[in-house]
């Protein structure tokens, strides 16, 4: 085995390539997110399995990769509160914008799948709501566990936390390039449109990854980031702004407002903590 303590980057890239391969197969061949399930969950389960195998392989404990039981409930509540506050503001601003043009009709609660072309589908049964919640739980366990937990822990064997944070976050950004690529292949989006959408996704997802890394450092575990991540995804899937001309027309604006506020709040506390230390 490669010496992961002296040179962890090749190991991280190898593990990332395995996860990326499963993601590619699911997005381009299985396409489970386009079925009645509405969730691309198989590669996430594969990622959780890889995480479970890697932790003992590298002689780590679950606590060492962020799954610490210490103050777990408190950190979950903090992350959920952060997500709830910023998305309340995001929805509020979106509603004000739509109301200013007499376009706002109301809020509706139902399940959709997120897409760069807009939310897709419309299911309101308990079964689909449960599938949505379960899918998002699987998603945050895999992504936070692998990107912020395992990758950061491995990178810190050799490098500083900021360097580990940047590496894992850039990989997390590139992780989200699949959807625009598939849109081009399926003829649903132009190359230029997909390039712009992909660039925005990569940049925003990278910043989101940095935010969750900072939350990890601030709280000493992954729980706050997992909770914030869960609220971020689940809210976008379940709560929709209905207007006279459509649904979720300012979805990108809403998410951008919420994620920007969230990033700035976490950055403020991270800088404040470092100054004190």
Written as tens digits, the pLDDT of the chain (277 aa) is 567 888 999 999 999 999 999 999 999 999 998 887 778 999 999 999 999 999 999 999 999 999 999 999 999 999 999 999 999 999 999 999 999 999 999 999 999 875 555 555 678 889 989 999 999 999 999 999 999 999 999 999 999 999 999 999 999 999 999 989 999 999 988 999 999 989 999 999 999 999 999 999 999 999 999 999 999 999 999 999 999 999 999 998 999 999 999 999 999 999 999 998 7
pLDDT of residue 4: 83
Residue 265 lies in a domain: yes
pLDDT of residue 34: 85
Query: Going by C-beta distance under 8 Å and a sequence separation of 6 or more, which residues neighbour residue 196?
Result: none
pLDDT of residue 36: 78
| Number of domains, the chain | 1
Residue 2 lies in a domain: no
pLDDT of residue 2: 64
Residue 4 lies in a domain: no
pLDDT of residue 1: 54
pLDDT of residue 118: 52
pLDDT of residue 248: 92
Decide: 124 and 112 in contact? Cβ < 8 Å: no
Q: Supply the range of the domain harboring residue 256.
A: 9-276
Exposed, middle or buried by CB within 10 Å (0-12, 13-18, 19+), for 187?
exposed
Residue 188 lies in a domain: yes
Residue 23 lies in a domain: yes
User: Which residue is associated with the tokens 């949505």?
Assistant: 132
Query: Going by C-beta distance under 8 Å and a sequence separation of 6 or more, which residues neighbour residue 157?
Result: 4, 5, 6, 8
């Amino acid at each position: 085995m490669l010496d992961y303590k002296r040179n962890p980057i090749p190991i991280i890239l190898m593990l990332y390539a395995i996860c990326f391969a499963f993601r590619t197969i699911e997005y381009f061949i299985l396409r489970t997110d386009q079925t009645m399930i509405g969730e691309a969950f198989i590669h996430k389960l594969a990622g959780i399995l890889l995480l479970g195998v890697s932790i003992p392989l590298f002689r780590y404990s679950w606590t060492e990769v962020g799954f610490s039981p210490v103050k777990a409930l408190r950190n979950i509540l903090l992350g959920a509160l952060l997500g709830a506050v910023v998305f309340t503001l995001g929805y509020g601003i979106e509603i004000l914008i739509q109301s200013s043009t007499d376009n706002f009709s109301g809020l509706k609660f139902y399940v959709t799948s997120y897409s760069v072309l807009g939310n897709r589908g419309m299911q309101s049964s308990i079964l689909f709501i449960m599938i949505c919640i379960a899918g998002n739980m699987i998603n945050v366990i895999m992504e936070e566990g692998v990107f912020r937990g395992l990758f950061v822990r491995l990178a810190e064997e050799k490098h500083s936390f900021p360097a580990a944070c940047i590496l894992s976050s850039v990989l997390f950004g590139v992780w989200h390039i699949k959807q625009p690529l598939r849109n081009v292949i399926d003829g649903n989006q132009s190359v230029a449109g997909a390039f712009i959408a992909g660039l925005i996704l990569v940049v925003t997802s990278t910043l989101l990854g940095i935010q969750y890394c900072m939350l990890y450092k601030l709280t000493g575990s992954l729980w706050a980031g997992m909770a914030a991540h869960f609220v971020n995804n689940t809210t976008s899937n379940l709560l929709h702004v209905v207007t006279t001309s459509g649904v979720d027309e300012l979805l990108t604006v809403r998410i951008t407002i919420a994620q920007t506020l969230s990033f700035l709040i976490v950055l403020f506390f991270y800088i404040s903590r470092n100054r004190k230390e």
